[in-house]
Every structure is written in C-alpha cells, then in structure tokens.
A and B are shown apart, each in its own frame.
Chain A
Amino acid sequence: MAEKEYVYYAGCSQEGTAQEYDTSLRVVLKTLGVSLVEPEDWSCCGSTPAHTVDHVFAAALGARNLAIVERMGRSEVITPCPSCLTVLKKSHIRMVADESFKKQVNSLLDEPYNGSVNTKSVLQILYEDIGLKRLGEKVTHALPDMKVAPYYGCILNRPPEIAQFDDPENPVAMDKVLSAVGITVCDYAFKVECCGAAFGVAKREMVNKLTYKVLSMAIDAGANCIAVACPLCQQNLDLRQEQVNSTMGSSFAIPVLYFTQIIGLTYGFSPKELGLDKLIVNPEPVIHSRIRVEKKEVGTTDTQKKVKREQITHEGIQ
C-alpha cells in the first residue's frame, strides 16, 4: 500500500500528560504506512476554558489552526484528542453555517479561515480510511488474557451534529478496531458515560464518584483493562484511581491504556516503545501473557482465527 500522509494536529496534551498517546499512535500509523505532517506553528485549541468564556474567541483559537492547514493546501486534519476535535469541528461548522459569525472570528485572526478543512479523529481514520482488514493484517502478537472495556468518553462522538461519526449513544468504532487486532472486548453500558472531565480540579469529589461508576461498570462487565481515546479521560481514570479508592473505599487496580497502545502491543512493539511506563496503574498483569502469533499475509478473519487458536493453546498450557 502506498504511503498515505495526513496533516496531524497533536494538541497540547500529547506534548505533556499524554505523550504516550502520541508516541503509540505514531508507531502504529507508521506500521500501517501512514505518515504525519504537523501544521507549522500550531497553537492550543482553547479546549473547555476558551468556550466557557467567549464563543467567538474559542472559535478563533480553533480556526487559527484550521487556517494554517488551509494554507498548506490541505482539506483534512486529524487529531487524537476529542476535545481538540470538538473545538476544531465546532469552529468549522459554525463558521461555515453563519457568515456573520465567520466575519467576527476572522476579525480576530491575522490570516482568515475560509472554511475548507474537515477534522477527523485518529480513531475515525483507522476505522474508516485504513479499515479493519488492514488493521488486522499487521498483527504479530496476541494478548489472550486481556479483556478490554472500550471507553469513548462524552465527546468523541457527541453531539452527533458536530461529531458526525459513529453512534452517539452506543458507539462501536473502537470495539471493532480492537476486535480487528484480535483483542477481546467487553460490552457495557458506560461507553459514553462522563468521567467528570476538567472538574477533576474544581470538584474532585464529584469526579471521583463519576470515575468510580465507570471503573466499576467496566469491571462488572468482565474487563481487566480499559481502552481510552482521550487524554483527559485517561487521566481521570488512571491517575485518579488511587483517589477513587480512598474516597469510595474501593480497591481498583485496573490499567487504563490508550487504544493505540493496545494496537501497538499486537503489532509487536515493546512496552517502552509504546510509553506503557508512563501509565500509573501497572498494565503488566494484562500484557504479560503476550505471545507471538505466526505472521501471515492474510485477511482479518484468518488472523483472528489464528489468534483464537493461540489463545486456546495458551490456556491449555496454564
């Protein structure tokens, strides 16, 4: 497959608390023949603080980055972070729909944004552009002990008129992507339940309650690990797990991985290469069972069959 290049807007978190998201998605995409080019001089999207203050200002922060992409002569940008995604998409949609709003926003910018750039999440391009078949083809390893609860968070596919991707109430893209690389996924009701987001700073108690619910629901569904696609969700579920345990009296120790880290594991990358050492809750218990599967240029289903067979052997040994 010819190499495909995407304009990649990393977002601030991926340079800070979520470096491992960035690292892991880069190695995964490289394996899949995708190269990334970053918009030069990109800036913060403004995230939640900006639009709580002023909508025009918030849209301008998003539009500034879209304008850079536009000047690169490109019409599509991808981002791993749902918050960046929402800001970029919302800026674009609102500016295209409302000419006077567009004027207001552009008056704040040195270079105007003309409304020609579509934003997609990394999950969306894996699911829609690269496809499940190709994702499966690159699998070299199986993780027979891993049972993942995919956690999408509030805004990766909502509100539907902004996200324009997957089902707003019961999304399936991450479930399918992980299944395609041979991972066992658990169905549960809290895929889009709120984790408390940025209230982790202002109202810690509340966030502890919300994350408690998500974690316990995932565990009740039989999961021993959670896959996320959002740096803030990851932080709340992983970093705050100890806090949750102390306030709610629980004793959770469930690893919270970026879904790209899990894909990376099935592609044979080392935990170090995927930044697994950056996680708070130790993922070792769920990944120690990793075994190599015979690499064959076959379709998804065959790979899955192969993985399944390996699982059976593995269980036999134990």
Chain B
Amino acid sequence: MRVGVFICHCGNNIAGTIDVKKVAEEVRKLPGVVYATDYMYTCSEPGQEEIKQAIQNERLDRVVVASCSPRMHELTFRRTVEKAGLNRYFLEMANIREHISWIGEDKELNTKKAIDLVTMAIFKAIKNKPLYSTSFKVNKRVLVIGGGVAGMQAALDCADGGLQVILVEKNPSIGGMMARLDKTFPTIDCSICILGPKMVDVAQHENIKLYTYSEVEDVKGYVGNYQITIRKKATYVDWTKCTGCGECMEKCPSKNAYDYFNFGVAPTRAINIPFPQAIPKKARIDKNYCRQFIKGKCGVCAKICPTGAINYEMQDEIITEDVGAIIVATGYGLIDLEKLPEYGGGRYPDVISGIQYERLLNASGPTSGHILRPSDRTEPKTIVFVSCAGSRDKSIGIPYCSNFCCMYIAKQAILTKDHIPDSQSYVFYMDIRSPGKGYDEFTRRAQEDYGVYYIRGRVSRIYPKGKKMVVRGADTLLGTQVEIEADLVVLGTAVVASQGARELAEKLHISYDTHGFYVESHPKLRPVETNTSGVFLAGANQGPKDIPASVGQGSAAASKVLALFSKDMLESDPAIAVVNPNACVGCLKCLQTCPFGAIQEEELRGGKKVAKVIQTVCAGCGVCTSTCPCGAIQLQHFTDNQILAEVNALCQR
C-alpha cells in the first residue's frame, strides 16, 4: 500500500495553532506512508496539482488530506484523486481545522491531536475499498410548500421552465402575508394589485397543480423520487360547485368567528371567503364557530347556497403525489401580542400589531380602509408606532432584528397622514434599519415630508388614561422621558417562525435553528439549499425577509431545481448499507429500525429469508449496522473493519 498525506496550513487557520511540519514528519514514519507534505492552501489549484503529481510520481494508491471539514472540500479532493486515476473513495480526510485548530489554543496539544487524527485517517484509508455509484431516474415534478409570494415565484419559475409543479398551501387561499398588506415600501404600490396577477397566473398555469387548505402530512423517498402524502382538509363546501358568490357568508348567523386573514381585527362569519381576491375564491366553514357543528342545528348556508355546495359530512382527503424535488416556502409568523405585557399587548384593544393596522388601512379590510380604532371605532388623531416590539429582546428569547419593521412602520406612518391629514404619528425606534434600494430615502421622506416624529428610545409602559393610551418612553437623544397620549398604538411585532415549522422540518429531514428558522446549507454560498439533497428553501422561513428578498429566493430555489432536473439520471451515493446474505439470519431487526424504509425482506433461492437494502432509498445513516446482531449489514465506506482500523490506530499510540 502506498499512502500519500497532505497537510494543509489553511493560511493561519491551521498552521497558526498546529505545527503542520511536525505532523507531516511524524506520519511519514508510519507503515504504508510513502509521501507526506504540507502546503499553504491544499484546496487551491496548485495544491490540487501537487496531489495529482504525487499520485503519479509516487504511484500512490491512497490519499489522506488533513484540512477543513469534509463538508467543505471532500468533493473537491475526491474529484482531484479521480482525475489522477484513483477511485474517489480512496481519499480520506482528517478534519484538523474545525476539530482542532479553531477550538484549541495549546499548540503542542493541538499538534499531538492532529497527529492522532491523521494517523486514524491513514489506517482507515488503507482499508478503504473502491466504490462506484449507480445512476437512477429522476421524477421531474416539484413540490412547493407554501403559497406566499416566495412559493408562488418558485412555482411559476419552475412551471415556466416546463416542470410539473404541485403547490400546497395550508390556508384556504394563496397569497400569504403579502396578500394582507395594503401598500408596499418604498414605492407605495398597492400590494394586492401587484400580487393579484401572480396569484391568477399560479391558478391558471397549466403546469401548476394547486392544493389549498392542504398540508403535507408525510414525506418519503430521496432526491429525484419523493412520495408525498398531502392532507386536503375538509372545507365542508364542495369547491367544484362553489362559485364564490358569498351569499352564505352574508346570511351566516354565526358572526363572531375569528378572522385569521385579518388577524382578528374584527370578527368574521363561520362560513367565509377570506378576501375578495382570494384564489381559489371559495367558501370554507370554520367548525369551531359554525352552529351546525356546535349545536347540531342551523343549516342556513345549506339552504341559501344556490349551487347546493354545502356538505357538512365532508371528510379530510388524503392525496399522494410523486415528485423529484421540494421547495419549502412556508414563510413566517408574528409574536403574540400577549407576550408583550409591558406594552399592554392583549390587554388593551387599542394596542394593535402592525399587520392588524395594515388590515385597517386596506380597502378590502374590515373597516373598508378607514382607520378606526378597535375600542370605539373612532378615527385616531395621534398614533404611536413602537418598533422592535419583541425583536432584539433577549429577555423573551428573540435576540434578532425582524428586518422589515422599520420600513413598514415608515410606510404606515406615511399612509396614516394620507388617510387622516390632521393626524400626528410618532415612531419610537432603536435604530432605523433601512439598507435596501431606496429605503433610507423613504424613511427620511416620512420624517421630512410627512412630519412623522421619530423618537430614538424605547417604550417602557403603555397604559390607558380615559379614552387615550399613554405611551411612556425615553428620548435618548434629548435625554428625557416622554409621554404621549395616543389614540392608537401600533406595535412592530417580532417575526417568529411560522406555526408548525419544526414539525415540517422533521418530516423533511432539514435542520432548524433555536428560533425555529430553517438552516440553509451555507449562509453565504448555498443560501437556498438545505443539507438534504433535493430540498430547497425560499423566503422568510430562514429568517425575516422582505418581499424583494423573498421573491429573489423563490427564483433562486426554482433555478436550483431546474439545474437538478437538467439531467435525466442522477448518480447515487454508493456509501450505503449492504447486506451480506451469507451472514444474515433474517431477523429483520434492521427493517424495524430503518428511519427511511429502505430495507425489505427478500427470499433467496432455497427459501432463506434475508434483509435487502433498497439502494436508492438508503440514506447511509448507519442505524441498521449497529442494530444487526450478526454484523451482516455493513455501511459502505464506514464498515466495521474500517472503523476498527481507526480505533486500533488511536489505541496503539
């Protein structure tokens, strides 16, 4: 065996706290090692060239690279050794950067540990076997989860690219948060006017199959071949018959249903169409408020419906779809007002959230676009906006900035002046964060042209005094306390992960952070990929994002899917579990533990029953190998012998 070892300096990242020359020197003494060197940047072109040269000159048959995490450059070096004529699985990596140099300060100890890790990699490399990938067919259909602006953009781009798209939206209509906005910053163009045509395109596109009021129940399979189970929730209205005339909504006697679309600014009916531009424009019964369901009698909507679409007996429907890739565009949620007691959130009706105010401004909202405060439906003259309500507040576990509140507060303050010319708006802010194109000019316009008072400081308490809400806070620029008697208080509530984000992530095998936001593959270089191949992200489910950023990501995710589907066949990863039928006793414990359903029972000639791994489904997690009582299942590239070689290498030292 002829092993070559390449120790990377990674500039000062590794060489700063590891004596790389000594590591090379020490491992050169090991049996089988015929070449060991160190290099400034092994991943650079000359660095890779050196590996190729060494393979040829020294007739190497195994290569060990000691550098960063294999997640960074394993693929790079696999290609390098392959180009030099070796099987790509003859490469082994030792992670001496993330595992040693970045975390330890003692150079001597670091060097010792580096020698250990590199030695282990050498012993494993010697045991490595050549592996070859097989190719499999790709199902060129894509699932988009979430019908907000990011999901719609992704769906349209995929569909325009000729892919079949399944779009699943959990609410009765597509449109997401953007459909609820009145105007958009910094152009003050009507939100639904620019979103509406997109919604219509989605509904009418021949390549898009739309499931609204539906949720993804289960995800099975792997990149190129996913099986999706979708739950189509019962609407109790036959949508093939419903024309969206809205007569049921007018006559429904249950008038106190919670209005999810309007964030509860005003009640709606138990049977309702969320908003005039809804797509599909169909009615749905809210079981929690419907008298037919609560009291067992009513039936008004069934009597009134001109097409006989009402069906109280309707059940949830389970649908399965096969796709090859998934785009997750599930958007964001907002912190409950109740979690902001210092602002009287949830206690006082005239303390509302920004999105609720948006609905008050909107012509299709519950007040038909007249700003009326919830308590007494009078027009407010003094309005106070509080930015960072919950955001950047470690005490409630939200240390991050919610990204777009500064901008929409400026927009709402401008619109307030348009709606009520004799009104005065105040904005309490920590910093004004307006880094987008035309954004800072916009916040300046609010102050200079619309006379909005910006007060730099935080609000300490909001309390009622007669019909007014007293907002008390600090003006840190003047160094004084200020009290404003407001008619209405609007909180720029913190953005949080959408409801059910964590559960969905677990179904998709993608990661999420402590706040429930999805984690991209690389924060800078792989912003729409996840660590699960074939699953992509778009929009605010990764963290607060405004409309332009969400749309950009929707298109980016679509382009990733189009690139993936540009090939008819995909190569499988050969590092999967393989059963040795001679050693297998057919207990099938592996079948029960496999989290991917990749193992099935097989009958050999002569009737012996053994386990069999479905190559394309196996994700190479290795659970089965530790379950197997007789060592009959071996995970390729991580076999017992290979792992033991590493352990032995470490223990002999």
Q: Which residues of A contact B (CB under 8 A)?
A: 160, 167-170, 189-190, 193, 217, 220
Chain A to chain B contacts (Cβ below 8 Å), 15 pairs? A160-B395, A167-B341, A168-B341, A169-B341, A169-B342, A170-B341, A170-B347, A189-B344, A189-B461, A189-B463, A189-B464, A190-B463, A193-B461, A217-B463, A220-B465
A167 contact set on B, CB distance < 8 A? 341
A168 contact set on B, CB distance < 8 A? 341
Task: Please give me the residue from chain A that is nearest to B462 by CB atom.
Answer: A189
In angstroms, how far is the closest chain B Cβ from the Cβ of A15?
Answer: 34
Q: Mark B443-472, 1 if CB is under 8 A from A, else 0.
A: 000000000000000000101110000000
**Among all A-B residue pairs, the 10 with the closest Cβ atoms:** A189-B463, A169-B341, A169-B342, A170-B341, A189-B464, A167-B341, A190-B463, A189-B344, A170-B347, A160-B395
A170 contact set on B, CB distance < 8 A? 341, 347
Task: Please give me the residue from chain B that is nearest to A190 by CB atom.
Answer: B463
B461 contact set on A, CB distance < 8 A? 189, 193
A193 contact set on B, CB distance < 8 A? 461
Q: Complex: how many Å from CA A217 to CA B461?
A: 14
In angstroms, how far is the closest chain B Cβ from the Cβ of A172?
Answer: 11
In angstroms, how far is the closest chain B Cβ from the Cβ of A158?
Answer: 11
Q: Complex: how many Å from CA A90 to CA B471?
A: 31
In angstroms, how far is the closest chain B Cβ from the Cβ of A205?
Answer: 15
In angstroms, how far is the closest chain B Cβ from the Cβ of A250?
Answer: 16
Task: Please give me the residue from chain A that is nearest to B345 by CB atom.
Answer: A169
Interface size on B, as a range, is: under 10
Task: Please give me the residue from chain B that is nearest to A160 by CB atom.
Answer: B395
In angstroms, how far is the closest chain A Cβ from the Cβ of B651?
Answer: 37
Q: Complex: how many Å from CA A190 to CA B465?
A: 11
In angstroms, how far is the closest chain B Cβ from the Cβ of A151?
Answer: 14
Interface of B is mostly: mixed
Q: Complex: how many Å from CA A170 to CA B341?
A: 7
Task: Please give me the residue from chain A that is nearest to B463 by CB atom.
Answer: A189
Tally of A-B residue pairs with Cβ under 8 A? 15
B347 contact set on A, CB distance < 8 A? 170
Interface centre among A160, A167, A168, A189 (most CB of B within 10 A): A189
Task: Please give me the residue from chain B that is nearest to A188 by CB atom.
Answer: B463
B456-498 interface with A by 8 A CB criterion: 461, 463-465
B341 contact set on A, CB distance < 8 A? 167-170
Q: Mark B342-353, 1 if CB is under 8 A from A, else 0.
A: 101001000000
Q: Mark B37-68, 1 if CB is under 8 A from A, else 0.
A: 00000000000000000000000000000000
In angstroms, how far is the closest chain A Cβ from the Cβ of B337?
Answer: 13
Q: Complex: how many Å from CA A169 to CA B347?
A: 12
Task: Please give me the residue from chain A that is nearest to B464 by CB atom.
Answer: A189
Q: Complex: how many Å from CA A169 to CA B465?
A: 18
B354-404 interface with A by 8 A CB criterion: 395
Task: Please give me the residue from chain B that is nearest to A170 by CB atom.
Answer: B341
In angstroms, how far is the closest chain A Cβ from the Cβ of B208?
Answer: 47
A189 contact set on B, CB distance < 8 A? 344, 461, 463-464
Q: Complex: how many Å from CA A170 to CA B461?
A: 11
B463 contact set on A, CB distance < 8 A? 189-190, 217
In angstroms, how far is the closest chain B Cβ from the Cβ of A165?
Answer: 15
Q: Complex: how many Å from CA A84 to CA B599?
A: 66
In angstroms, how far is the closest chain A Cβ from the Cβ of B485?
Answer: 14
In angstroms, how far is the closest chain B Cβ from the Cβ of A159?
Answer: 9
Q: Complex: how many Å from CA A189 to CA B461?
A: 9
In angstroms, how far is the closest chain A Cβ from the Cβ of B75?
Answer: 46
Task: Please give me the residue from chain B that is nearest to A159 by CB atom.
Answer: B395
B464 contact set on A, CB distance < 8 A? 189
Q: Complex: how many Å from CA A169 to CA B464?
A: 15
In angstroms, how far is the closest chain B Cβ from the Cβ of A289?
Answer: 29
Q: Complex: how many Å from CA A132 to CA B195?
A: 55
Task: Please give me the residue from chain A that is nearest to B343 by CB atom.
Answer: A169
A220 contact set on B, CB distance < 8 A? 465
B344 contact set on A, CB distance < 8 A? 189
Q: Complex: how many Å from CA A190 to CA B347?
A: 13
Beyond contacts A189-B344, A189-B464, A217-B463: 12 other A-B pairs, Cβ-Cβ < 8 A, are A160-B395, A167-B341, A168-B341, A169-B341, A169-B342, A170-B341, A170-B347, A189-B461, A189-B463, A190-B463, A193-B461, A220-B465
In angstroms, how far is the closest chain B Cβ from the Cβ of A157?
Answer: 12
Q: Complex: how many Å from CA A190 to CA B461?
A: 9
Q: Complex: how many Å from CA A187 to CA B478?
A: 34
Q: Complex: how many Å from CA A160 to CA B341?
A: 13
Q: Complex: how many Å from CA A168 to CA B344?
A: 13
A217 contact set on B, CB distance < 8 A? 463
Q: Complex: how many Å from CA A160 to CA B464?
A: 24
In angstroms, how far is the closest chain B Cβ from the Cβ of A221?
Answer: 10
Task: Please give me the residue from chain A that is nearest to B395 by CB atom.
Answer: A160
Q: Complex: how many Å from CA A307 to CA B171?
A: 50
Task: Please give me the residue from chain B that is nearest to A192 by CB atom.
Answer: B461
Q: Complex: how many Å from CA A189 to CA B469?
A: 11
Q: Complex: how many Å from CA A193 to CA B472?
A: 12
Q: Mark B615-633, 1 if CB is under 8 A from A, else 0.
A: 0000000000000000000
Q: Complex: how many Å from CA A193 to CA B344?
A: 14
In angstroms, how far is the closest chain A Cβ from the Cβ of B508?
Answer: 36
B212-228 interface with A by 8 A CB criterion: none
A190 contact set on B, CB distance < 8 A? 463
In angstroms, how far is the closest chain B Cβ from the Cβ of A305?
Answer: 28
In angstroms, how far is the closest chain B Cβ from the Cβ of A85?
Answer: 20
Task: Please give me the residue from chain B that is nearest to A221 by CB atom.
Answer: B464
Task: Please give me the residue from chain A that is nearest to B469 by CB atom.
Answer: A189
Q: Complex: how many Å from CA A153 to CA B620?
A: 60
In angstroms, how far is the closest chain A Cβ from the Cβ of B386?
Answer: 15
In angstroms, how far is the closest chain B Cβ from the Cβ of A195?
Answer: 14
Q: Complex: how many Å from CA A217 to CA B341?
A: 18
Q: Complex: how many Å from CA A169 to CA B463?
A: 12
Q: Complex: how many Å from CA A107 to CA B627?
A: 57
B395 contact set on A, CB distance < 8 A? 160
Task: Please give me the residue from chain B that is nearest to A171 by CB atom.
Answer: B341
Task: Please give me the residue from chain B that is nearest to A187 by CB atom.
Answer: B347
In angstroms, how far is the closest chain B Cβ from the Cβ of A180?
Answer: 22
Q: Complex: how many Å from CA A103 to CA B342?
A: 37
Q: Complex: how many Å from CA A220 to CA B344?
A: 18
In angstroms, how far is the closest chain B Cβ from the Cβ of A169?
Answer: 4
Q: Complex: how many Å from CA A160 to CA B463?
A: 21
In angstroms, how far is the closest chain B Cβ from the Cβ of A139?
Answer: 30
In angstroms, how far is the closest chain B Cβ from the Cβ of A38?
Answer: 36
Q: Complex: how many Å from CA A170 to CA B463?
A: 12
B465 contact set on A, CB distance < 8 A? 220
In angstroms, how far is the closest chain B Cβ from the Cβ of A1?
Answer: 35
In angstroms, how far is the closest chain B Cβ from the Cβ of A219?
Answer: 13
In angstroms, how far is the closest chain B Cβ from the Cβ of A299?
Answer: 30
Task: Please give me the residue from chain A that is nearest to B466 by CB atom.
Answer: A220
In angstroms, how far is the closest chain A Cβ from the Cβ of B250?
Answer: 38
Q: Complex: how many Å from CA A156 to CA B259?
A: 39
In angstroms, how far is the closest chain A Cβ from the Cβ of B281?
Answer: 42
Q: Mark B244-257, 1 if CB is under 8 A from A, else 0.
A: 00000000000000
